[in-house]
Amino acid sequence: MTTLSPRLAAIVDALPLRPGMRVLEIGGAPGAAAKAVCERIAPGGHILVIDRSAKGVALVERNAAAEIAAGLLGVRHVAAEDFALEPGEPPFDLAFAVRVGALDGRHPEAGVLARERVRAALVPGGRLLIDGGDPLREID
């Protein structure tokens, strides 16, 4: 069982997760939330963590090595505003972000691009949830 801060635990608990889901976490370093999500989407689920920081990606790779080896978790070095599905990669059921400036209003121009990129990577009806609600809020 992954140990999370009370705030992060509340966020993960609020995510509408179920086994078999494909989840995208934006800005997920150091990987604590992603590891907790793995526990809720197994069997058959997958979470992809994207982070604009190479250091952050390395942290996720180190902290979630077992989940990566099991095929539950992937990590990619890319900013949200540059993210795109790879050829043949299935879309995601759900995306979430915690403290990501491009999505929480701190970087509005990057936010427009990031929302477009994330929307394009979601299944029809897929949801994007970010912190700042109680504890999450959905953004279009």
pLDDT (tens digit per residue) in 3-34:
899 989 999 999 999 999 999 999 999 999 99
> Is 48 part of a structural domain of the chain?
yes
Indicate the pLDDT class of residue 139, thresholds 50, 70 and 90: confident
Q: What is the pLDDT of residues 98-119, one digit of tens each?
A: 989 888 888 988 999 999 999 9
Residue type, 88: G
Q: Does any domain span residue 1? A: no
pLDDT value at 1 more than 70: no
Tell which phi-psi region holds residue 71, choosing left (phi > 0), alpha (psi between -120 and 50) or beta: left
pLDDT of 125 above 90: yes
Do residues 53 and 76 lie in contact, with contact meaning Cβ atoms separated by under 8 Å? no
CATH of the domain at 132: 3.40.50.150
Q: Strand 122-131 vs strand 136-139: parallel, antiparallel, or unpaired?
A: antiparallel
| Structural domains in the chain (count) | 1
Q: Which DSSP helix (H) or strand (E) runs through 124?
A: strand 122-131
Task: Let me know: does 92 contact 22? Beta carbons within 8 Å.
Answer: yes
Query: Could you tell me if residue 61 is inside a domain?
Result: yes
Q: What is the extent of the structural domain holding 43?
A: 6-139
pLDDT in tens, 30-67: 999 999 999 999 999 999 999 999 999 999 999 999 99
Q: What's the distance, CA 53 to chain centroid?
A: 14
User: Quick check: is 123 in a domain?
Assistant: yes
